[in-house]
Amino acid sequence: MGQTKRKLQAGEAAYGAWQMIGHPTVAELLAAEGFDWLCVDLEHTPIDAQTFENVARAVRPSGVDLLARLHGCDPLQTKTVLDAGAQGVIVPLVNTAQQAAEAAAMARFPPVGTRGAAFSRASDFGRRFRDYFLAHNEQVLVVPMIEHIAAVENLDAILSTPGLDAILIGPYDLSCSMGRPGELQHPEVQGALEAILDGCRRHGVPPGIHVVSTAASAVQEAVQRGFRFVGCGLDTAFVIDGARRVLGREG
Q: Considering Cα of 155, then 156, then 162, then 165, what sign does the dihedral take?
A: positive
Pairing of strands 88-91, 37-41: unpaired
The single-letter code of the amino acid at 122 is A
CA proximity to 53, closest of 15, 31, 76, 27? 27
Rounded CA gap, 135 and 5, in Å?
14
CA distance readout (Å), 199 to 104, 144, 176, 181: 19, 14, 21, 23
CA–CA distances in Å: residue 92 to residues 7, 41, 120, 220 = 23, 10, 25, 24
Distance (Å) of CA 141 to CA 127, 145, 173, 190? 23, 13, 22, 27
Give the whole-angstrom CA distance, residue 135 versus residue 132. 5
Q: Is 44 marked active-site?
A: yes
Task: Please identify which of the residues 44, 71, 186, 203 carries the catalytic annotation.
Answer: 44
For residues 192 and 153, what is the distance between their CA atoms, to the nearest angstrom? 10
- Using DSSP's 3-state secondary structure scheme, residue 146 falls into strand
Which residues participate in catalysis according to the annotation?
Answer: 44
